[in-house]
Amino acid sequence: MKLKALVALLSDGQVHSGESLALQLGVSRTAIWKQMRRLMDQGFEVASIRGRGYQLVSRVDLLDSALIIKQLDAGLATRVDLRVRDEVDSTNAEVLRQVAEGCDGKLPISIADSQTAGRGRRGRSWQSPRGENLYLSMGLVFHGGFSVLDGLSLVFGVAVAEALETLGVPDVGLKWPNDIFLPAGKLGGILVELQGELQEGVVRVVVGIGINVHMHKAEGVDQPWSSLASACPDTEWSRNQVAAAVIGAVADAADTFSSKGFGVFREPWQNRDIYCNRLIQAKDGELKGVGNGIDGSGNYLLGTPEGGIVPIRAGEISLRVVL
Ligand code: BTN
């Protein structure tokens, strides 16, 4: 019996007798009891009510591909090849497998409930607990060679920020090059990976987006972080809804970037720049200056104490606030 099927039955928050659950799932009551113990081991809060049955106390927010597709614009809904999985190594890797298996010329999108080898920028791992957050990747094709990719990760940052704002999240900030921030700390991150040149001038990139939705603990994360649920506790967050908003915004942003280039994203990015006018450092303190926004290619501009402006190229450099 799949644990997911049991969770789906319990997700209405009502009390279900062991007998009715067993009947619906075609298993014995003992099997139901064993699965309840497994659910509890996985962190689900299940109340066992004497003489009545079981009730899922913690709220579950199940991923559902049909619900995600239903919330996309009609045109986009017909263009996506959406895969929703219980567990994958990394949704970025899953998108590449999806492409290899062929997706009928559609936009490959992969979402997972958990990742066993979630990847972050600069070789870091990305904590991906089951059922808590959004782990989403999209495969996109751009024309114009590798240089066209300059600034692309900033474009996706703007898209994700706009998607969250349409869902009512206030004070969404961007940390160069592509972290999503709320005042309490990092809410999400974006990992853009290049698959390579498909034919001359045509490149495929995989954009992977992780957004903390319900996460309430994160052991081993070495910086302040936030989640949608902690920032907006009065909203009943649905990962399906967040996924649909992000997919729509990223697809739109990719089209705009292809037709108009990076320039149109500069101002929307700068309006959310969390380092603007702050004293920051790059290259482990070798360079210090005041945040001055970005140039027309997406490089970060540091205003130096000598009155100069130093552009910092995206890639392996990260910026930090000087403490
Ligand atoms: C960062 O370091 O801030 C980028 C994190 C990107 C995480 C996402 S989760 C979905 C996708 N799959 C991965 O393995 N990584 C990205």
Say what the pLDDT of residue 1 is. 56
Distance CA 69, CA 106 (A): 14
Q: Do 286 and 262 reside in the same domain of the chain?
A: no
Give the residue whose CA is nearest to atom 16 of ligand 1.
Answer: 208
Say what the pLDDT of residue 252 is. 98
pLDDT digits over 241-288, tens only?
A: 999 999 999 999 999 999 999 999 999 999 999 999 999 988 777 888
Q: Is the pLDDT of residue 316 over 60?
A: no
Distance CA 177, CA 162 (A): 16
Residues in CB range of 250: below 8 A, 6 or more apart: 138, 140, 156, 159, 160, 163, 207, 209
Q: Do 233 and 316 reside in the same domain of the chain?
A: no
Q: What distance in angstroms lies between residue 209's CA and the mean position of ligand 1's atoms?
A: 5
Q: Say how many domains are in the chain.
A: 3
CATH classification at residue 283: 2.30.30
Q: Do 31 and 172 reside in the same domain of the chain?
A: no
Give the residue whose CA is nearest to atom 11 of ligand 1.
Answer: 208
Average pLDDT over residues 175-187: 95
Residue 264: which H helix or E strand, with range?
A: helix 263-270
Distance CA 160, CA 276 (A): 19
Query: Mean pLDDT in the chain?
Result: 91
Q: Do 170 and 70 reside in the same domain of the chain?
A: yes
Q: Do 162 and 288 reside in the same domain of the chain?
A: no
Please choose from 186, 191, 225, 226 the residue to mutate so as to test ligand 1's pocket, defined by most ligand atoms within 8 A of CB.
Answer: 191
Distance CA 139, CA 4 (A): 27
pLDDT digits over 53-73, tens only?
A: 999 887 788 899 999 999 999
Give the residue whose CA is nearest to atom 10 of ligand 1.
Answer: 135
Distance CA 58, CA 149 (A): 43
Q: What distance in angstroms lies between residue 110's CA and the mean position of ligand 1's atoms?
A: 12
Q: Which residues are catalytic?
A: 121, 186, 320
Residue range(s) defining the domain that contains residue 83: 65-270
Domain termination site, one of 230, 249, 270: 270
Nearest to 92 by CA among 111, 69, 65, 66: 111
CATH classification at residue 19: 1.10.10.10
Residues with CB under 6 A from ligand 1: 90-92, 115, 118-121, 124, 126, 135-137, 179, 189-191, 208-210
Q: How many CA atoms lie within 13 A of 283 on its CB side?
A: 10
Say what the pLDDT of residue 106 is. 96
Query: What are the φ and ψ backbone dihedral angles of 172, each rounded to 5 degrees?
Result: -75, 125
Say what the pLDDT of residue 299 is. 92
Average pLDDT over residues 122-141: 92
Q: Do 114 and 85 reside in the same domain of the chain?
A: yes
Which atom of ligand 1 lies nearest, measured to the CA of 179? 3
Measure the CA angle with vertex 173, ends 129 and 64; round to 5°. Answer: 40
Nearest to 242 by CA among 146, 138, 149, 168: 168
pLDDT digits over 92-126, tens only?
A: 999 999 999 998 889 999 999 999 999 998 889 99
Q: Do 169 and 245 reside in the same domain of the chain?
A: yes
Say what the pLDDT of residue 197 is. 73
Q: What distance in angstroms lies between residue 82's CA and the mean position of ligand 1's atoms?
A: 18
Q: What distance in angstroms lies between residue 171's CA and the mean position of ligand 1's atoms?
A: 22
Which atom of ligand 1 lies nearest, measured to the CA of 122? 2
Q: Do 18 and 95 reside in the same domain of the chain?
A: no
Provide the whole-model pTM.
0.89
Say what the pLDDT of residue 116 is. 95
Q: Do 171 and 107 reside in the same domain of the chain?
A: yes
Q: Do 312 and 164 reside in the same domain of the chain?
A: no
More confident residue, 2 or 131: 131
- The tokens of 206 are what? 């995989």
What is the 8-class DSSP label of residue 148? G
Q: Do 39 and 99 reside in the same domain of the chain?
A: no
Q: Is the pLDDT of residue 320 over 80?
A: no
Q: Do 188 and 43 reside in the same domain of the chain?
A: no
Cα dihedral 191, 197, 199, 203 sign: positive
